[in-house]
Amino acid sequence: MRELWQFTKLIRSKNAGPFELTFDIMFKDQESFNQVLQSGVLTKERISELYQVGVDEVRFFQINKLLTVKITIPRKVFSGDVRDTDIYGGQFHGPLIQVPIPDSSSARLRQPQ
Amino acid sequence: MAAELDQNGFTVAPPNPDLHCTPQSVSAHTLYETGDPYHLVESGGTLDTSDAKFEASGNRAVRVTGSRFLPATKYTVRIEGAALVGYRSIVVAGIRDPLVLRQLDSFLSTLRKVVERKISENLNLATNQYTLNFRIYGRNGTLGEVEPETSIDGHEIGLIIDVVAPSQSLAADIMPIVSHTGLHNPIPEHEGLISNFAYPFSPGGIDAGPVYQFCANHVWELDDPCKPFPMSLENV
């Protein structure tokens, strides 16, 4: 069992305008990209749980050419709101870093190809 | 970066001869601060990068072709605005007492009740006329209500007491009520007067100035582009 950051060269979050947050997850290589996507862990449903937003509010882009997954969600507290904790949204990727990724063999057992 | 544009696309390269860009570094730019990497909505239309091709041109440059601009069917104007919502004062404090930390939620909710009453009695302000926010670094100061890990795992927390009120002087008047009441807010395990907050500065209150919030961020569809922007010519 490894954590998501061990498969990536960059995990970042940032505002996409004042009302949305976007996550860019760039993988080290094709194998890491495939393994994480095949593990079935990095999904709209998981993001919805982690960030307390509706599944249908999660936009998920799998960008094969860049070995990248991009995910965009609405901000529950808008940028600059009196209650905002992170005006530029630069630290919201924190909970993603250590998401556990099952190793390939157990992933294959769970999701026969 | 320097870009050369032509009828079919553009070529970018860094002017610094020690640097170079790659198809990956250039195409990754469609990700940065965008919600959708393929459809970048601007006034007047949308840049569609779905079929964009990013190719190396020599060792340092990248050639980009195949992106399309899809003109909007309606004329649109982007409206953005921010409005003054009040003035902020803050106090920074540390809490190290494990007995306070283990009941931090009830400690702060009791404190909030007491100070709301004092603020109402002394300053004649109702709770809807100001905001009082306890920012708890060491628990969820960074992510707020979205933080999935709700326990305090460390031996101390950093507390920012954050007050926004209708004027700077009112914010500055509220702050000592909160910080002094909180300093001595009792917990059952300690008998006698205690001091719960470690203040790194004296005086502790910091006036942080005016606070603005987004009040408008819209795309406005217009039948007549000039209608909201009346012009008149006068001879002077």
A81-99: per-residue pLDDT in tens? 999 999 999 999 999 999 9
* Mean pLDDT, rounded, for B110-131: 97
Q: Residue B220 — pLDDT band, cuts 50, 70, 90?
A: confident
Q: Which residue, among A111, A106, A83, A97, has the nearest Cα to A4 in the 3D structure? A: A97
**Statement: residue B223 has pLDDT above 80:** yes
* Mean pLDDT, rounded, for B165-177: 97
Q: What is the pLDDT of residues B23-54, one digit of tens each?
A: 989 998 889 999 999 999 888 889 999 999 99
Q: Residue A113 — pLDDT band, cuts 50, 70, 90?
A: very low
Q: Which residue, among B83, B81, B80, B87, has the nearest Cα to B212 in the 3D structure? A: B83
ipTM of the complex in this document: 0.84
Q: Residue B174 — pLDDT band, cuts 50, 70, 90?
A: very high
| Residue A61, helix vs strand vs coil | strand
Query: Tell me, what's the pLDDT at A104?
Result: 77
CA angle centred on B71, ends B67 and B77, rounded to 5°: 120
Pairing of strands B9-13, B2-5: antiparallel
Residue B119 has what DSSP assignment? H
Q: Residue A108 — pLDDT band, cuts 50, 70, 90?
A: low
Q: How far is B87 from chain A (nearest CA, A)?
A: 10
Query: Tell me, what's the pLDDT at A105?
Result: 63
Q: Residue B217 — pLDDT band, cuts 50, 70, 90?
A: confident
For chain B, what is the mean pLDDT?
94
Chain B residues in contact with A78 (beta carbon < 8 A): 213-214
Assigned token pair, B85 = 């919502």
| H helical segments located in A42-111 | 44-51, 94-97, 104-110
Assigned token pair, B69 = 């601009």
Which amino acid, residue A89?
A: G
Residue window 197-216, chain B: list those with CB within 8 Å of chain A. Answer: 211-214
For residue B19, count CB atoms less than 10 angstroms from its CB and return exposed for 0-12, middle for 13-18, buried for 19 or more. Answer: exposed
Sign for the CA dihedral angle at B186, B187, B193, B196 comes to negative
Strand ranges for A54-102 from DSSP E: 59-63, 68-74, 100-101
Total residues belonging to chain A:
113
Q: Residue B225 — pLDDT band, cuts 50, 70, 90?
A: confident
Interface contacts A/B by beta carbons within 8 Å:
84
The residue with tokens 């009792």 is: B186
**Statement: residue B212 has pLDDT above 90:** yes
* Mean pLDDT, rounded, for A40-53: 96
- CB neighbours (10 Å) of residue A104? 13
Query: Tell me, what's the pLDDT at B78?
Result: 85
Residue window 54-113, chain A: list those with CB within 8 Å of chain B. Answer: 59, 61, 63, 65-66, 68, 70, 72, 76-86, 91-92, 94-95
- Contact A111/A40 with Cβ under 8 angstroms? yes
Q: What is the pLDDT of residues B189-207, one digit of tens each?
A: 999 899 999 999 988 899 9
Could you give the C-alpha distances from B161 to B59, B93, B139, B152, in angstroms and in order?
54, 8, 15, 18
Query: Tell me, what's the pLDDT at A111?
Result: 52
Q: Which residue, among B24, B23, B2, B4, has the nearest Cα to B13 in the 3D structure? A: B2
Do residue A77 and residue B131 have CB atoms under 8 angstroms apart?
A: no
For residues A42 and A20, give the distance between their C-alpha atoms in angstroms, rounded to a whole number. Answer: 19
Exposure letters B98-119 (e unless 16+ CB within 10 A, then b): eebbeebeebbebbbeebbeeb
For chain A, what is the mean pLDDT?
92
Query: pTM of the prediction?
Result: 0.86
Could you give the C-alpha distances from A42 to A1, A37, A47, B145, in angstroms and in order?
15, 6, 8, 22
User: Bridge-partner residues for B81, per DSSP?
Assistant: B216
For residues B133 and B163, give the distance between their C-alpha atoms in angstroms, rounded to a whole number. Answer: 6
